[in-house]
């Protein structure tokens, strides 16, 4: 035991893929590639060729090299590689069903429903997902070259989708906010946490083969060599309606400052990243830019949400210490690592008309529990307001609102209520994937069926 009571865990960092525990660089450029495997032997050859390009999470503080690739498989992908039935059945039911089959429950309805998804997302054709991230375009190119080498001239493997991503010149996402700040510290990862009020989360919440927050080993895919040091990843291409969002705020505010305040209330942070909990009245860019301070807060002294509304996006997604004594919900069971990136051009500052461009976020979740982490947060906290006593309200920024959405901003003497919230985020598609450890990649490559 350490002085703080935490048990020391020895994570096999050399066997965990880089993308799982590495923070993404800033600035960054990257590419997501999806592949279809038509022949199991070719699929295994692909994994064999990719293996040397994949790096491990060994040096999380000093990311190995300048660029890294993450290799992940959908359930259909594992099937396409010829993974035995018994092993396939050992994966979580949500993973086996895939995101498209879970869409209605996740709130992916109407324009966000799989019927409207960008093809081939959500179809049984998506087998292998590759994500390449680097500080610069040259780094991405170099790794992509290696990946291209792996799948080109390999009959039986087809590249079927590509999405490039990059950090916008502002360093923020399309709605204008800094993102990727609130992350859990993972016990044994060596990556220092950003919120000193949150004890590091047990490694088993994020990586298979280690105890989780319940004190037990989470169900791990079998055989052991396949499951150990692997994890699940969710990726979702989320289109953001930036002009509609700006107009919505403008129409409800008498000044630019007021519009900015309403936007911050919706997010729970200011554009700079400064949390409302620490800077309730105006943005504080030095606070937003300071990793030692910008995540050092709780909501205990703001239970009524006068500083940060309980319905704000970041507070819903991680209510921190706001729930425990009221509802005995263990927030630690619903944490997630996020590795999202931006895609598409920036809508220039001040523009209120839609230019028709596709822009948004490739949201990426990493965790060992698809159901109680990603799906729980999405369905119970973002898409539903019961837990904060506002059953008619959904997340004002990312929730599946239908132009009748509401958002309450507690203030004195009387609260303010924003009405008629339209959807600002549309799901363009996504997948549930499994990211194996490095030994597991070898196992997948070397099996003979
Ligand atoms: C286009 C869609 C989305 C946008 C624009 C967005 C934006 C943001 C922003 C600006 C923050 C605050 C900065 C930070 O702490 O990193 C944030 C935090 C967060 N978001 Fe999202 N988000 C989106 C979708 C989602 C989804 C779908 C989930 C989960 C299912 C999610 C989970 C979280 C979590 C866990 C946090 C950190 C909260 C904390 O620890 O304080 N986000 N998001």
Q: Provide the percentage of residues in the chain whose pLDDT is more than 90.
A: 83
Distance 36 CA to ligand 1 centre (A): 30
pLDDT higher than 70, residue 66: yes
- Among protein residues, the one whose CA lies closest to atom 42 of ligand 1: 317
CA distance 324 to 338: 23
C-alpha distance from residue 158 to each of 45, 122, 428, 447 (Å): 13, 17, 21, 21
pLDDT in tens, 280-313: 999 999 999 999 999 999 999 999 999 999 999 9
CA distance 294 to 178: 11
- Among protein residues, the one whose CA lies closest to atom 35 of ligand 1: 317
pLDDT higher than 50, residue 431: yes
Q: Which of 102, 194, 297, 317 to mutate to test the pocket of ligand 1 (most atoms within 8 A of CB)?
A: 317
Burial 3-37 (b: 16+ CB within 10 A, else e): eeeeeebebbbebbbbbbbbebbeebbbbbbbbbb
Segment holding 88, helix H or strand E: helix 85-88
pTM across the whole model: 0.95
The token duo for 115 is: 């019927």
pLDDT higher than 60, residue 69: yes
Distance 449 CA to ligand 1 centre (A): 42
Q: Provide the percentage of residues in the chain whose pLDDT is more than 70.
A: 94
pLDDT higher than 70, residue 65: no
pLDDT higher than 50, residue 84: yes
Give the contacts of 413 (CB within 8 A, at least 6 positions apart): none
Mean pLDDT for 211-239 is 96
CA distance 308 to 331: 18
CA distance 220 to 369: 10
Distance 314 CA to ligand 1 centre (A): 6
C-alpha distance from residue 114 to each of 75, 95, 96, 108 (Å): 17, 16, 17, 7
In short, whether 179's Cβ falls inside 6 Å of ligand 1 is yes
Unique residue bearing structure tokens 């990136």: 341
The predicted structure's pLDDT at residue 26 = 84
Nearest partner of 183 among 40, 432, 367, judged by Cα: 367
Between 136 and 318, name the one with better pLDDT: 318
Mean pLDDT for the chain overall: 93
- Among protein residues, the one whose CA lies closest to atom 37 of ligand 1: 182
- Among protein residues, the one whose CA lies closest to atom 31 of ligand 1: 317
pLDDT higher than 90, residue 436: yes
The predicted structure's pLDDT at residue 192 = 83
The predicted structure's pLDDT at residue 5 = 42
The predicted structure's pLDDT at residue 60 = 41
Give the contacts of 350 (CB within 8 A, at least 6 positions apart): none
Between 2 and 366, name the one with better pLDDT: 366
In short, whether 44's Cβ falls inside 6 Å of ligand 1 is no
CA distance 220 to 227: 6
Instruction: Locate the ligand 1 atom nearest the alpha carbon of residue 361 and give its number.
Output: 1
Distance 363 CA to ligand 1 centre (A): 9
In short, whether 175's Cβ falls inside 6 Å of ligand 1 is yes
In short, whether 336's Cβ falls inside 6 Å of ligand 1 is yes
pLDDT higher than 80, residue 370: yes
Mean pLDDT for 45-73 is 79
pLDDT higher than 50, residue 1: no
The predicted structure's pLDDT at residue 147 = 82
């Amino acid at each position: 035991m350490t002085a703080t009571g935490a048990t020391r865990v020895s994570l096999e960092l050399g066997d965990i893929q880089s993308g799982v525990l590495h923070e993404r660089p800033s600035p960054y450029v990257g590419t997501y590639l999806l592949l279809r495997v038509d022949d199991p032997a070719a699929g295994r050859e692909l994994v064999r060729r990719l293996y040397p390009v994949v790096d491990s999470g060994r040096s999380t503080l000093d990311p190995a090299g300048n660029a890294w690739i993450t290799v992940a498989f959908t359930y259909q992908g594992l099937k396409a590689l010829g993974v035995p039935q018994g092993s396939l059945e050992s994966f979580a039911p949500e993973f086996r069903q895939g995101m498209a089959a879970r869409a209605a429950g996740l709130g992916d309805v109407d324009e966000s429903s799989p019927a409207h998804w960008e093809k081939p997302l959500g179809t049984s054709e998506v087998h292998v997902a590759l994500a390449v991230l680097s500080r610069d375009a040259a780094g991405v190119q170099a790794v992509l070259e290696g990946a291209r080498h792996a799948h080109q001239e390999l009959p039986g493997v087809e590249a079927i989708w590509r999405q490039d991503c990059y950090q916008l010149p502002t360093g923020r996402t399309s709605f204008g906010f800094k993102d990727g700040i609130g992350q859990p510290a993972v016990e044994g990862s060596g990556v220092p946490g950003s919120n000193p009020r949150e004890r590091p989360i047990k490694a088993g919440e994020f990586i298979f083969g280690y105890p989780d927050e319940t004190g037990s080993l989470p169900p791990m895919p079998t055989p052991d060599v396949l499951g150990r040091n692997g994890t699940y990843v969710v990726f979702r291409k989320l289109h953001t309606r930036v002009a509609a969002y700006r107009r919505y705020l403008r129409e409800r505010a008498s000044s630019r400052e007021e519009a900015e305040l309403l936007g911050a209330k919706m997010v729970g942070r200011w554009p700079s990243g400064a949390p409302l909990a620490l800077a309730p009245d105006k943005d504080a860019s030095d606070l937003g830019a300071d990793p030692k301070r910008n995540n050092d807060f709780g909501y205990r002294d703001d239970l009524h949400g006068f500083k940060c509304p309980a319905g704000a996006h970041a507070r819903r997604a991680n209510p921190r210490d706001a729930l425990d004594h009221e509802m005995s919900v263990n927030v630690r069971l619903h944490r997630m690592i996020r590795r999202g990136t931006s895609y598409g051009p920036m809508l220039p500052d001040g523009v209120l008309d839609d230019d028709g461009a596709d822009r948004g976020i490739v949201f990426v979740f990493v965790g060992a529990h698809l159901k109680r982490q990603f799906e729980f947060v999405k369905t119970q906290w973002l898409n539903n307001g019961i837990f904060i006593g506002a059953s008619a309200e959904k997340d004002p920024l990312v929730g599946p609102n239908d132009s009748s959405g509401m958002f309450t901003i507690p203030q004195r003497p009387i609260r303010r209520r924003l009405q008629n919230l339209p959807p600002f985020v549309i799901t363009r598609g996504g997948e549930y994937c499994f990211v194996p450890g490095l030994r597991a990649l070898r196992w997948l490559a070397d099996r003979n069926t």
